[in-house]
A and B are shown apart, each in its own frame.
Chain A
C-alpha cells in the first residue's frame, strides 16, 4: 500500500510542495536544525523529556469528550470533541512550542523569536521561553494587536517583548516577514520558533510531528471508548498545524474521512477570505511552495477572516499536497457560519471555543444531520475562545445595530 505518511523527501518536498525557499544566510542554520531534529527524534533522552513536559506541564493527554448535547441537537453523527482547549495556555500551540524549545536548548540558542496572529502561538512561545529562561521576542501585526489585547498582555506578563508590525495589513503574514528579517540579522544566537506547519523544511515536518500527539491520542482514546477508529475527522486550517496533528496519524486509514476547514471570511467570491486552497494558487512564500492568495503577477494578496488565527494567505505544504492528491477534503466556512457554530457550542455544551475551532464546528454541524447515528466524528477543538471575546462582542453589537 502507498503510505501518505512518509513525506517529506530529503529536500523537504511533499509532492511539489514544501522545500527550502529562503535567503542563503539562513540555509546553513536551517540545515543544521534539520540535522539536529533528526538526531533528537531518535534520542530517548529527548523523547523522555518531551513526554514529561507534555504530561506534567501541558496536562496531556487532553480528553476526547463525547458532545452529547451537540450530537442530540444536530441528530445523526456521534460528535466527539478533542479538547486541546484544555491544554496549558489554552490551545494546541503549546504542543509544538515545548518540542521546539527543547530543540533550541539542545542547539545552545538563548534567544527565541516568533510571529503570532491570534496571539496563542505568541503566548505559548512566551510561556516556554519563560520556563526555560530564554529571551523572547514576538512579532505581531498591529491589526492583530488591536483585536487580541488580552493575549498581548499575557505575553508581556510572561516576559516577552511584543514588537508591533505595521507593514501590509498588520496581520500574521507581515509578522512572519518581520520575524524572518530578525532571524536573518540575528542568525547566530536566535532560534525561530515557527508556530504552524509551514515555512522552510524542516519546520512543516517538525511542527507536524510535535502536533501529531493530538491524533495519536485520539486513536487510542476512540479505540478505548468505541472499539474502532472514527469515521470522520474535522479540523480548521490556517497554516494548519492543529489539523495536520490530528490528521497525520490517520492518513493511511482508508476508512477515515478527513476534512479540513478553511476560513471563507465574507465568502470566496468577495475576495475577502483566507481560503488559500479554495481561492488561491500554488506559489512560493515564507520558505515553502504551497497554495497562496495572490494576483496574476505573483503578488501576495491580503487574507481576511474574523479569526485572527486563520488570517494568513498560505497553508502548510503538506495540506497543499493532501489537497492535490485528494486524500483530504478541504472546504470553506464563512465568518457568519463560524459565529453561528460558536454560539451553538457555547449554549449546548458550556464550552466557549476559539473562533478558529468554530470553523471546524460549523462544517461538522452541516454534515452531522445527514450522517447515520453510528457515524463517529471527531472535531479538533484546537483552542478556547477567551481571546476572542472582544471580536465576538463587537460582531454581536454590530448585528444588533443592523437589526435595530
Chain B
C-alpha cells in the first residue's frame, strides 16, 4: 500500500478528513523552508504538497507567484528540492509528500531521471498543473509504473463527459479545484463543494480533497465535513511573506497549521 493510500485508510478509520498543506520548496530560503517542512506533520498536516519553484507559474495567484520568486532568488532548483525531500524523509517515514509544480523543470531535468530521483528521495506523488490527460504518456504513465501516484486536478469546468478521461490517470487522491481561477482566489460556496464531491463520487472511489480559497480553521472544518481532505496553500504562504525573520516564518506557518488541523479534526465530532 502506498503512503497516500495508507494515510487515507487511517483517516477513514478515524472518521476524519485530511489536512493537506502546500508550501513552496526553498521559500523564503532553504534552511527555513526545511524547518517548516519538518515541522508540518507535528503541527497537524496529514499530507504535504511541496511546490517545485518555477519562473512562470501561470495558474497561481500572487501569493504563490511571490513564493516562487523568493525561492528562485535563493537558487532553489530541482536538485535542492529533491535534497529537501531526502532530508525530510530521514526523519519522517509516514507522512505522504507530493511534489507540485509545472512541467518544464521536470522535462528539462529529464523525465526518467526525475522519476527515479524523486522515488529515491521519498516522494509519493506528483501534481503537475500544466500536464492534462491529453499528455498522459509524457509523465503520468511512467510515474505510475514506477510507483509514484499521479494526482489530477479536477475543476468546475471538467464536465461529466470529460471526468472519466481525467480520472483514468489519477491515483492517490483527486484534487478538486473548487473555483475556476488561480490559487488564492475566492472560495466556492459549500453547496457547490457538496455537489461537486457528490458528482466526483459517482465517478471514482479515490479520496476527494478540496482546494483553493480555504484560509481559516472554520472554513477548513466546513470542507472537512464534506470531503476527504482540505488543501491550504496561499494562507500558509502569506505567513512567510509577512514574517520579519526566519523564525517568525516558521512559527507563523506552523501556528496556522495547528489551528487548521484543529478545525479539520473538530469537523465530524
Which residues of A are at the interface with B, using a C-beta cutoff of 8 A?
Answer: 11, 19-29, 167-168, 173, 177, 180-181, 184-188, 281-287, 289, 292, 294, 296-300
Q: How large is the interface on B (under 10, 10 to 19, 20 to 34, 35 or more residues)?
A: 35 or more
Contact of A173 among B56, B152, B177 (CB under 8 A): B56
Most B-side CB within 10 Å, residue of A184, A185, A292: A184
Q: Contact: A185 with B180, CB < 8 Å?
A: yes
Q: Contact: A297 with B78, CB < 8 Å?
A: yes
Docked pose: A377 CA to B108 CA in angstroms: 39
Give a binary string over B150-190; 1 marks a CB under 8 Å from any A CB, 0 the rest: 00111111110010001000000000010011100100000
Q: Contact: A300 with B182, CB < 8 Å?
A: no
Chain A CB within 8 A of B221 CB: no
- Give, as a whole number of angstroms, the nearest-CB distance from A223 to chain B: 41
Q: Contact: B132 with A284, CB < 8 Å?
A: no
Q: Contact: A185 with B185, CB < 8 Å?
A: yes
Answer whether A296 and B108 are a contact pair too, CB < 8 Å, given A23-B58, A28-B158. Answer: yes
Q: Write out the residue numbers on chain B whose beta carbons fall within 8 Å of the beta carbon of A167.
A: 65
Q: Contact: B106 with A21, CB < 8 Å?
A: no
Answer whether A27 and B132 are a contact pair too, CB < 8 Å, given A187-B157, A297-B77, A298-B108. Answer: yes
Contact of A180 among B58, B107, B158, B177 (CB under 8 A): B58
Docked pose: A21 CA to B138 CA in angstroms: 11
Chain A CB within 8 A of B147 CB: no
Q: Contact: A24 with B58, CB < 8 Å?
A: no
18 contacts between A and B (CB under 8 A): A20-B134, A21-B130, A24-B154, A24-B158, A25-B177, A25-B180, A28-B162, A29-B157, A177-B56, A181-B60, A184-B181, A184-B182, A187-B180, A284-B102, A286-B56, A287-B130, A298-B106, A299-B55
Q: Contact: B59 with A184, CB < 8 Å?
A: yes
Contact of B135 among A20, A23, A294 (CB under 8 A): A20
Chain A CB within 8 A of B74 CB: no
Chain A CB within 8 A of B142 CB: no
Which residues of B are at the interface with A, using a C-beta cutoff of 8 A?
Answer: 53-61, 65, 72, 77-78, 102-109, 129-132, 134-135, 152-159, 162, 166, 177, 180-182, 185
Q: Write out the residue numbers on chain A whose beta carbons fall within 8 Å of the beta carbon of B107.
A: 282-284, 289, 298
Q: Contact: A298 with B104, CB < 8 Å?
A: yes
Q: Contact: B61 with A181, CB < 8 Å?
A: yes
Answer whether A21 and B153 are a contact pair too, CB < 8 Å, given A284-B103, A298-B107, A300-B55. Answer: no
Contact of B105 among A26, A185, A299 (CB under 8 A): A299
Docked pose: A28 CA to B162 CA in angstroms: 8
Q: Contact: A19 with B65, CB < 8 Å?
A: no
Q: Write out the residue numbers on chain B whose beta carbons fall within 8 Å of the beta carbon of A300.
A: 55-56, 104
Docked pose: A185 CA to B184 CA in angstroms: 11
Q: Write out the residue numbers on chain B whose beta carbons fall within 8 Å of the beta carbon of A29.
A: 157
Docked pose: A148 CA to B56 CA in angstroms: 24
